[in-house]
Amino acid sequence: MKYNHLFNITDHNDHSFFFTSDEGEGKSIEGRLDFFRNILRVALVRNDVPLFPTYTVCPDGICSREGRDKLSIAGFETVRPDVKEIPCTHPEGKGKTYSFTTDYAEIELNSFNFGLKVSQKGKILFQDRDYISLNLGQELGRGSMHFISREFEEKIFGLGDKTGNVNKNGMSFKIGAGDAMGFDARTSDPLYKQLPFYICENSAGAYGIYYDTYSNGEISFGKELNNYYTPFKSFRCNEENLVYYVIFGTVPEIVRRFSEMCGPMLFPPKWTFKYCGSTMAYTDAPDADRQLRGFIDTCKKHGISPGGFYLSSGYTQIGEKRYVFHWNTDKVPCPEDLSKYFKDAGVEFLPNVKPAFLTDHPLYSQIAEKGWFLHYADGTPARFPFWSGYGSYLDFTNPDAYDFWRDCVKKQLVDKGYRNIWNDNNEYDVCDEEVWAHGFGHPVKACDIRPLFSFLMTMASLEAQDKSERTYSVSRCGIGGLQRMATTWTGDNRTGFGDFRFQHKMAMTMSLSGFYNFGQDIGGFAGPAPGKELFMRWIQYGLFTPRFTLHSWNDDGSSTMPWLYPDLISDVKKLFDLRESFIPYIYNEVYRSVKTHDPVIYPVFLKFPGYDTESDAFFFGDSILACPVFDEGATSVTVDLPKVPTGWYRGQNIAVLAECDTSAGGKKKDPAFMGKVTTDAPWTGLPVWFVKAGSIIPTAENGNTVFNVYALREGTFNFEYLDDDGISKLPENPPMIRISVECGEKNVTVRVKGNVDRNQIRITDCFGRDMIIEKNTMGQ
């Protein structure tokens, strides 16, 4: 009956409670609550609608290509709530109300229409909207819906790569993904990631919600209004079943717990944090082989040491069109020779692959005959506009199509020396509800699982890659869980100062959404070539992001390369040298992120609550505060340094990584800068950054790793560094260097355990104390 869904409890165990609502005509809705450590899962599943598996929720890291049962408890730590029936809380006295108490929340469930109220310490975190909060009887149309309470001043973070401010309160977004080349970082929507996960911080505390679906939808954080209800947030999606997770804790804890819930991040090789070149122009040129080799030669000429090169799709062209897995041997006569040339120079290729086959592709008929494309009910391949023609998307939920792709990647790329794969243009622009996918034997409308195809494409590509050592995989489209097998970037961004600051806000939003290893196309991908000032400012900013790649398709045919402006090359070289010196630090911070599930770069308020959510400053790892400049014509930057008792050191050049604040005539009692600081920031110079006192920053210098110790006024601190070769698979107990620092009145004592020489320790100390180094003494 419409608006009248009475759920009766049917079963339970220590951690799960099961309910059923009889919908008549043999139909029912199964309700379920699962209690995990700091997480509540809510499920509403129709008995006449199959429940699609999840690929995002994977706390144990085990997920096959067929996915994982969406209601599995594997990998979760279950908890037993205290349960009792309490007086009915429904405004009209309908149904029964059950109370579930855990150490993290008090949860009330009213069995009439399955309404929830969630509280902490007597304050309501959120509650379902009165009268109708769920679309149980399709009263509100097709699909699932969820309406919950909203505070006017609450803060909202997350949703993947969404545009606009970091705090999304008052905004609304589509849940979906598309090929949004040249997007406006202030307003465009949707972009490349599909992630219905957000964090809400309000007067009662904080909570996160993840809706476990791959169907399109929309979400509103107060932009949608309805006079018949109290203020609310809303979520809608096309999937008929609704499964969602409520994650409890502080904002940093929720970020970490969502990442843990999605499974461990793939740890990439060290070379991926070096400068990686990329441009459409080289591979689109008729002499692509010569231009690509010229990249290596020009880098050598300028003393630039790249780690990789993103090979754009021009290498697959026949005429003006692009055909995945086809090598244009007029452009690249011998792919094996080209990969060897780069490999000998210490540079890895990442060739671009796309999941659609144009209708005149040499392999199209073969794939169509085998039924490996997304298709209509009669088996006819569905066709879509794609890169200057029409094509069909490979159906990665068909096991044979999946295997075909994996084998092609291995034969046409990996076996030719192209061991790392760039999965691109994989947003699957499928809106037609008559297009079907195999669904691993359970046919499903392709439009309801669009981003899943990109995930499976990346999984199949990764299976083809070399298993003897760590390789690298990249995907433009992404869902939660992508981090288990690939990194990503913010997509085909727009060139311009107007977008620059909002590109940063997007980066902070991604870091709050479980995407930790990512970056931007530095300088902008679409539009004009960046002007000199923007070019330099973006490199200054980009060297503080995990992925350091300049990539472009400039309107004038130029390439945004380090030598774009010959008169600036010496200034660019200094920035690249600084980035190169940071490689050990970045690598170690990413390893820390893999182990702890904390972000690599993140907004300041994540560590210092109350800090401006829209600040330009951000953390680069746990110890460095980056202070970029986003305004055209600016010559200085002002930053409000977070209040820490240890103070801050000002970052400088490579040889002297910090300086002390001597503004008080050298008599300052704190080791370094504190409070609001304004400093010169010329666009031709180095970026502005600060190091938290009590930190150790490992840097690369002349082939060695130097451990830069930033002393405290007094006290001790510890540090661990992953001391491996940067490419081999890590053993269960990888080699570590451990350093302990004790700052006393007269001495700074550094105790080291590991393979470190005395000349690899450098101490910055504002108090002129003696340095004592003791090797291999820790734990003795």
pLDDT, one tens digit per residue, over 348-395 is 999 999 999 999 999 999 999 999 999 999 999 999 999 889 999 999
CA distances from 720 to 242, 594, 717, 752, 775 (A): 43, 14, 11, 10, 15
In degrees and rounded to multiples of 5, residue 7 shows phi and psi of -95, 130
Name the stretches of the chain with pLDDT < 70: 1, 652-674, 777-780
Could you give the CA distance from residue 590 to residue 191 in angstroms, rounded to a whole number?
A: 25
Spatial separation of the C-alpha atoms in residues 310 and 353, rounded to whole Å: 11
Question: Do residues 125 and 119 touch, judged by C-beta distance below 8 A?
Answer: yes
Residue 719 gets which letter from DSSP? E
Query: Residue 157 in 3-state DSSP?
Result: strand
The Cα 211–Cα 196 span in angstroms is 6
Residue from 462, 388, 476 nearest 179 by CA? 476
The reported pLDDT for the residue numbered 235 is: 98
Residue indicated by tokens 């041997």: 329
**Backbone torsions φ then ψ of 427, nearest 5 degrees:** -85, -10
pLDDT of residue 706: 97
What is the per-residue burial (b if ≥16 Cβ within 10 Å, else e) of 197-234? bbbbbbebbbbbbbbbbbbbbbbbbbeeeeeeeeebbb
- Sequence-distant (≥ 6) Cβ neighbours of residue 709 within 8 angstroms: 696, 739, 741, 748, 750, 761, 762, 763, 764
Residue 611: how many CB atoms within 10 A of its CB? 15
- What span, in angstroms and rounded, lies between the C-alpha atoms of 237 and 176? 10
Q: What is the pLDDT at residue 624?
A: 96
SS percent in the chain: helix, strand, coil, step 5: 20, 30, 50
pLDDT at 644: 83
**Residue 90, pLDDT score:** 76
Residue 116, pLDDT score: 97
**Token pair in block for residue 177:** 């993904």
Please, are residues 107 and 116 in contact by the beta-carbon 8 Å criterion?
yes
Q: How crowded is residue 286: how many other Cβ atoms within 10 Å of its Cβ?
A: 12
34, 53 contact by CB (below 8 A): no
Instruction: Name the CA radius of gyration of the chain, rounded.
Output: 27
**What is the residue-wise DSSP string for 179-222?**
--TTB-TTT----SB---EEEEEETTEEEEEEE---S-EEEESS
What count of other Cβ atoms lies within 10 Å of the Cβ of residue 723?
A: 17
- The reported pLDDT for the residue numbered 696 is 97
The answer to whether 198 and 156 have CB atoms below 8 angstroms apart is yes
Nearest partner of 69 among 256, 212, 273, 220, judged by Cα: 212
Sign of the torsion formed by the C-alpha atoms of 514, 518, 524 and 527: negative
Q: Is 171 helix (H, G, I), strand (E, B) or coil?
A: coil
Count the residues in the chain.
Answer: 780
pLDDT of residue 670: 42
Interhelix angle 532-542/497-511, rounded to 10 degrees, is: 10
- Provide the pLDDT for residue 230: 93
pLDDT digits (tens, 9 = 90+) for 706-725: 999 999 989 999 999 999 99
What is this structure's pTM? 0.96
User: Can you give the pLDDT at residue 1?
Assistant: 66
Dihedral pair phi/psi, residue 248, rounded to 5° = -110, 155
Quote the percentage of the chain above a pLDDT of 70.
96
Listed in sequence order, the residues at least 6 apart from 114 whose beta carbon sits closer than 8 Å to its beta carbon are 5, 7, 19, 21, 31, 44, 128, 134, 136
